[in-house]
């Protein structure tokens, strides 16, 4: 319980800080943000500037602005898109699913393959494979996902011309088409995660295998298989779970870029479009929503960690 | 490691030095002017005259890759240096003074760290407008908390060690203790992490340029080349293939160097 209370206080502080930083984003734009926004699509006249400034609430004292904005944000009102006048929360809702799907697929793919691969890598230790594995995992870690995606498209246009692999269809409309189109981007996105988590599993396994309880289990005559998967892997899972939470944020950033490669209308598309139109309220809201979601995911992962590892609970 | 860390270290260091040398001496190494257009030989494959082929304006891809490398490495290195300076200083100060100083400094870093890297970087560039300098600033901001966190831990251990206590007891000033006694002992951590983070910074810079937020055309940049080359994938994939391969090569060399250095310098792993 004490742990939960400390974590909750930390969470509130971090969320508060995030709200201040995102709030300040529009206010810290060098020059007159309102004129810059308008300049993207229309002629800038003093009347229009005054009107938009008033509708964004930018004519009030900054503290009042912040309180209004925060109160709105907490009730789901993140303002309206300056061009379409639609609530930005709706725009985000319309683009969030492809990105969530892509991120989850890549995470499942990367994390799912990383465990067996990491265990295998730990078993291969000291058999002349170490340098190969090290070079291989560093390569996996540093291969740019967006380049890998483009190379996959290139390979497929040569090998299987005519296969539709770009774009997005909702799962509810065409389940197979949805999965087929997300396959390549998910693989491209998952590779760095796979390399990262496999390495982590390997070193955590090697660490666990050196512990006394493993020696005890061996002395008792427990089978090697059982030692590897039951005794060692369970302990290796602890750092693994923490990393998976952090990976989610990394994947999200990667997804924004991969969406451009595979023409997927997700949050990446939304935020880049908003930047091009200087639709700052939309940029700001997207960053806020995604970051808060990311922080909450990590908060839950932290709590899970405490459940898996009784040592943390106390 | 299985007995040959020195060979691998040599390889990684050699590759890194080579990449940096190419970037630094780009104007002398590149066979052509990266901006020189030649409409007659557009979108050509590799040949004796153009080793990596030409792009949609007939510009020499090899020269553009070399100059793009220079831009990417320059922006990333500047950003990581600033992040190391700001984040490292905050981490050290937090570890040394403890108490409220530490709490405030590290909380502030936690808040920046809470944003997904790419998202905050994109937000900063949205504010400042696209370009090389905003990209460098964005990367410096998102990487500062990483350095602060990485350096605070080891600095805490050193700050409580006997020799720092001794230095304090003979009246050494705080600045002297930090600069002369704590900092040198962090050299290996700094070296390893700078190398690793420079590698990922290159990937972030390339991603941002790829999205059109970083270095602006016609200046050569690896991410921008990849993004432009993508449009000509069917006609001539060379620009996309080689610009991406160059990003991989730089990031790989620096990451491997950091990785092998960590194995070599970390005494806990050495005897494993």
Rounded CA-CA distance A299/A293 in Å is 10
Number of domains in chain A: 2
Is A90 a member of any domain?
Answer: no
Residue B137, domain extent: 4-269
pLDDT digits (tens, 9 = 90+) for A163-193: 777 888 888 888 888 888 889 999 999 999 9
pTM, two decimal places = 0.90
* B271: confidence class by pLDDT, cuts 50, 70, 90: very low
Both A65 and A155 in one domain: the answer is no
Rounded CA-CA distance B227/A261 in Å is 9
- Compute the average pLDDT of residues B30-56: 76
Give the CATH number, domain containing residue B22.
Answer: 1.10.3720.10
Residue A48, domain extent: 17-74
Token pair, residue A289, equals: 């929503």
Rounded CA-CA distance A219/A232 in Å is 15
The residue length of chain B stands at 272
Is A6 a member of any domain?
Answer: no
pLDDT digits (tens, 9 = 90+) for A61-119: 888 888 888 888 888 788 777 777 788 888 899 899 999 999 999 999 999 999 999 98
Q: Give contacts of A290 with chain B, Cβ < 8 Å.
A: 116, 119
Q: Give contacts of B135 with chain A, Cβ < 8 Å.
A: none
Give the CATH number, domain containing residue A279.
Answer: 1.10.3720.10
Q: Give contacts of B108 with chain A, Cβ < 8 Å.
A: 17
d(CA B173, nearest CA chain A) in Å: 34
Interface contact B259-A294, CB threshold 8 A: no
Q: Which of A301, A307, A274 is nearest to A82 (CA)?
A: A274
- Compute the average pLDDT of residues B32-50: 75
Quick one: pLDDT at residue A314?
53
Interface contact B114-A294, CB threshold 8 A: yes
Both A58 and A101 in one domain: the answer is no
Phi-psi region of B81 (alpha: psi -120 to 50; beta: other; left: phi over 0): alpha
Interface contact B226-A150, CB threshold 8 A: yes
Residue of A nearest to B111 (CA): A14
Q: Give contacts of A283 with chain B, Cβ < 8 Å.
A: 122-123, 126
Interface contact A280-B126, CB threshold 8 A: yes
Interface contact B248-A147, CB threshold 8 A: yes
Both A60 and A103 in one domain: the answer is no
Residue owning tokens 């257009």: B37
Is A85 a member of any domain?
Answer: no
Q: List residues bridging with B60 in a β-sheet.
A: B54
Q: Give contacts of A295 with chain B, Cβ < 8 Å.
A: 114
Interface contact B118-A139, CB threshold 8 A: no
Both A218 and A117 in one domain: the answer is yes
What percentage of chain A carries pLDDT values higher than 70?
97
Both A270 and A125 in one domain: the answer is yes
Interface contact A21-B247, CB threshold 8 A: no
Q: Give contacts of A274 with chain B, Cβ < 8 Å.
A: 126
CA distances, A156 to each of A105, A213, A309 (Å): 21, 50, 45
Both A38 and A147 in one domain: the answer is no
Both A221 and A141 in one domain: the answer is yes
Interface contact A30-B114, CB threshold 8 A: no
Interface contact A254-B118, CB threshold 8 A: yes
pLDDT digits (tens, 9 = 90+) for A6-57: 888 889 999 999 999 998 888 777 777 777 777 766 777 787 788 777 777 7
Quick one: pLDDT at residue B123?
93
pLDDT over threshold 50, residue A301: yes
Both A112 and A68 in one domain: the answer is no
d(CA A216, nearest CA chain B) in Å: 21
Interface contact B255-A138, CB threshold 8 A: yes
- Compute the average pLDDT of residues A225-235: 80
Average pLDDT of every residue of chain A: 85
Residue of A nearest to B232 (CA): A154
Both A193 and A138 in one domain: the answer is yes
Interface contact A22-B123, CB threshold 8 A: yes
Q: Give contacts of A19 with chain B, Cβ < 8 Å.
A: none
Token pair, residue B212, equals: 């059109």
Residue of B nearest to A133 (CA): B1
From the number of C-beta atoms within 10 Å of its C-beta (0-12, 13-18, 19+), residue B23 rates as: buried
Residue of A nearest to B209 (CA): A257
Quick one: pLDDT at residue B1?
43
CA distances, A265 to each of A234, A242, A280, B230, B233 (Å): 39, 30, 19, 18, 21
Quick one: pLDDT at residue B19?
93
Quick one: pLDDT at residue B195?
93
Both A245 and A190 in one domain: the answer is yes
Interface contact A147-B247, CB threshold 8 A: yes
Interface contact B115-A18, CB threshold 8 A: yes
Give residue A147's Cα distance to chain centre: 19
Is A270 a member of any domain?
Answer: yes
Number of domains in chain B: 1
- Nearest Cβ partner of B210 from A21, A252, A257? A257
Is A83 a member of any domain?
Answer: no
Quick one: pLDDT at residue B270?
44
Residue of B nearest to A143 (CA): B248
Both A25 and A147 in one domain: the answer is no
* B272: confidence class by pLDDT, cuts 50, 70, 90: very low
Both A163 and A290 in one domain: the answer is yes
Residue of A nearest to B201 (CA): A142
Residue of B nearest to A153 (CA): B233
Is A80 a member of any domain?
Answer: no
Cβ neighbours, 10 Å, residue A71? 10
Cβ neighbours, 10 Å, residue A138? 25
Mutate to test the interface with A, among B69, B113, B114, B138 (most CBs of A within 10 A): B114
Interface contact B108-A249, CB threshold 8 A: no
Whether residue B265 is preceded by a cis peptide bond, meaning omega within 30 degrees of 0, is no
pLDDT digits (tens, 9 = 90+) for B154-208: 888 888 888 888 888 888 888 888 888 888 888 888 999 999 999 999 999 999 9
A-B contacts (CB, under 8 Å): 145
**B54 phi and psi angles, rounded to 5 deg:** -130, 160
Give residue B37's Cα distance to chain centre: 31
């Amino acid at each position: 319980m004490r742990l939960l209370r400390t974590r909750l206080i930390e969470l509130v502080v971090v969320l508060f800080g995030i709200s201040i930083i995102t709030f300040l984003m529009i206010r810290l734009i060098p020059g007159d943000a309102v004129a810059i926004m308008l300049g993207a699509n229309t002629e800038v006249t003093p009347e229009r500037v005054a009107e938009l400034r008033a509708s964004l609430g930018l004519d009030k004292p900054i503290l009042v602005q912040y309180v209004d904005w925060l109160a709105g944000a907490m009730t789901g009102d993140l303002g309206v898109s300056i061009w379409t006048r639609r609530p930005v929360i709706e725009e985000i809702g319309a683009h969030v699913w492809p990105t969530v799907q892509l991120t989850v697929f890549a995470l499942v793919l990367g994390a799912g393959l990383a465990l067996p691969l990491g265990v295998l890598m730990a078993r291969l230790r000291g058999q002349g494979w170490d340098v190969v594995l090290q070079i291989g995992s560093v390569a996996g870690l540093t291969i740019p996902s967006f380049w890998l995606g483009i190379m996959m498209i290139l390979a497929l246009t040569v090998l299987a011309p005519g296969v539709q692999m770009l774009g997005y269809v909702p799962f509810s409309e065409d389940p197979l088409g949805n999965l087929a189109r997300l396959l390549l981007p998910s693989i491209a996105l998952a590779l760095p995660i796979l390399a990262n988590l496999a390495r982590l599993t390997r070193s955590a396994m090697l660490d666990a295998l050196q512990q006394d309880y493993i020696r005890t289990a061996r002395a008792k005559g427990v089978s090697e298989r059982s030692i590897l998967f039951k005794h060692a892997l369970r302990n290796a899972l602890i750092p693994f779970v923490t990393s998976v939470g952090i990976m989610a944020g990394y994947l999200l950033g990667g997804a924004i870029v991969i969406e451009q490669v595979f023409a997927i209308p997700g949050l990446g598309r939304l935020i880049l479009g908003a930047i091009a139109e200087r639709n700052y309220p939309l940029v700001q809201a997207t960053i806020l929503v995604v970051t808060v979601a990311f922080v909450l995911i990590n908060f839950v992962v932290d709590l899970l960690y405490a459940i898996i590892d009784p040592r943390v609970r106390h | 490691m299985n007995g040959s860390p020195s060979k691998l270290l040599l390889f990684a260091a050699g590759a890194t030095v080579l990449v940096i040398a190419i970037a630094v001496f780009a104007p002398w190494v590149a066979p052509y002017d990266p901006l020189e257009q030649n409409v007659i030989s557009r979108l050509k494959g590799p040949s004796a005259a153009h080793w990596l082929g030409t792009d949609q304006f007939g510009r020499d891809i090899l020269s553009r890759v070399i100059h793009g490398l220079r831009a990417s490495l320059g922006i990333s290195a500047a950003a990581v240096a600033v992040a190391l300076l700001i984040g490292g200083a905050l981490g050290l100060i937090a570890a040394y003074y403890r108490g409220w100083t530490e709490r405030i400094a590290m909380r502030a870093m936690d808040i920046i760290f809470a944003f997904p890297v790419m998202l905050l970087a994109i937000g900063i560039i949205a504010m400042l407008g696209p370009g090389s300098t905003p990209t460098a600033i964005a990367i410096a901001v998102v990487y500062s908390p990483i350095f602060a966190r990485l350096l605070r831990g080891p600095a805490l251990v050193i700050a409580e060690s006997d020799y720092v206590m001794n230095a304090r007891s003979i009246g050494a000033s705080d600045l002297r203790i930090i600069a002369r006694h704590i900092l040198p002992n962090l050299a290996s951590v700094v070296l390893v992490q700078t190398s690793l983070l420079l590698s990922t910074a290159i990937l972030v810079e390339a991603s941002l340029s790829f999205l059109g937020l970083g270095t602006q055309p016609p200046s050569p940049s690896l991410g921008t080349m990849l993004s432009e080359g993508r449009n000509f994938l069917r006609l001539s994939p060379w620009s996309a293939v080689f610009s991406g391969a160059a990003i991989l090569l730089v990031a790989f060399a620096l990451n491997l160097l950091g990785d092998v250095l960590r194995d070599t310098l970390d005494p806990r792993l050495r005897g494993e």
